[in-house]
């Protein structure tokens, strides 16, 4: 049984997709043991509370540095025997200490085909640039923003006259497929890293 912790800041639709995939048995042998938010009002945190999951709001304004803040979260996650940390719309940079503590056990989802368009408003960045295809990426997290070995990606075509909302919605649908899929592969021990590249065992 793998213990999953989710870090989020907002809506939490990717968290819900992972949660539902576990409930439905698509991801077997895993449970969400902890949900942490840096925002008290995050709807994703409320969803977790409503389901009786261990949920924590950790207030960044109470800590003087990113490392001090992350240390609190590390302690929570360690006490919950966390095997995998899923960032699901967690809009806060992780400290080096956090990344080292859970090395190769932190995943993130980002709404672009990385390495294109890291950072905020990835869908708007793609539209502003004029690319014809964007998409989403699940990757292991390293010390750079929206960076690290890529696990799964899905391309999404950009249509003429797409608004940021149109494109975000189409990408989000794919996010909700590839994130649970990546978690499932991790839980089934089918992901290995070689030279910073992810190999997937499909046998
Ligand atoms: C998602 O689109 C996710 O890819 C993005 O934030 C949104 C969170 O939605 N993450 C990033 O941009 C990370 N750099 P959600 O709260 O409904 O899962």
pLDDT digit string, tens, across residues 82-140:
999 999 999 999 999 999 999 999 999 999 999 999 999 999 999 999 999 999 999 99
| Domains in the chain: ranges and CATH | 1-102 (3.40.50.170), 108-179+190-203 (3.40.50.170)
| 12 CA: nearest ligand 1 atom | 16
Strand partners, 199: 192
| Predicted local distance difference test score (pLDDT) of residue 163 | 98
Ligand 1 mean position, distance from CA 108 (Å): 9
Tokens of 198: 């992810």
| Predicted local distance difference test score (pLDDT) of residue 27 | 98
Please, which pLDDT band fits residue 194 given cuts at 50, 70 and 90? very high
| Predicted local distance difference test score (pLDDT) of residue 61 | 96
Catalytic residue among 110, 139, 147, 176: 110
Token match 């590249």: residue?
A: 197
Known catalytic residue at 147: no
pLDDT digit string, tens, across residues 25-79:
999 999 999 999 999 999 999 999 999 999 999 999 999 999 999 999 999 999 9
Measured CA to CA, the distance from residue 28 to residue 95 in angstroms comes to 31
**92 annotated ligand-binding residue:** yes
Dihedrals φ, ψ of 113, to 5°? -85, 95
DSSP state of 1: -
| Predicted local distance difference test score (pLDDT) of residue 136 | 98
**94 annotated ligand-binding residue:** yes
Strand partners, 37: 8, 57
| Predicted local distance difference test score (pLDDT) of residue 56 | 98
What distances in angstroms separate CA 14 from CA 79, 81, 158, 160, 202, one per listed residue? 24, 22, 22, 27, 24
Q: Answer yes or no: is the ipTM higher than 0.90.
A: yes
**Helices of type H across the chain:** 13-23, 43-50, 66-79, 96-101, 122-129, 164-187
Is it true that the peptide bond before 115 is cis, omega within 30 degrees of 0?
yes
């Amino acid at each position: 049984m793998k213990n999953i912790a989710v870090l989020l800041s907002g809506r939490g639709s990717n968290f819900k997709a992972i949660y539902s995939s576990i409930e439905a048995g698509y991801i077997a042998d895993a449970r969400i043991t902890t949900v942490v938010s840096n925002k008290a009002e995050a709807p994703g945190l409320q969803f977790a509370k409503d389901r009786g999951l261990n949920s924590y709001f950790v207030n960044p304004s109470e800590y003087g540095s990113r490392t001090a803040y992350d240390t609190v979260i590390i302690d929570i996650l360690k006490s919950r025997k966390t095997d995998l940390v899923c960032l699901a719309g967690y809009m806060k940079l992780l400290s080096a200490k956090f990344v080292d503590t859970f090395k190769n056990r932190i995943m993130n989802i980002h709404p672009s085909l990385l390495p294109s368009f890291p950072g905020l408003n990835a869908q708007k960045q793609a539209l502003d640039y004029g690319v014809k295809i964007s998409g989403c990426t699940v990757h292991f997290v390293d010390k750079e923003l929206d960076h690290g070995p890529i696990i799964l990606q899905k391309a999404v075509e950009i249509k003429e006259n797409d608004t940021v909302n149109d494109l975000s919605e189409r990408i989000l649908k794919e996010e909700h497929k590839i994130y649970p899929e990546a978690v499932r592969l991790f839980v089934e021990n089918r992901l290995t890293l070689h030279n910073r590249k992810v190999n997937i065992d499909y046998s």
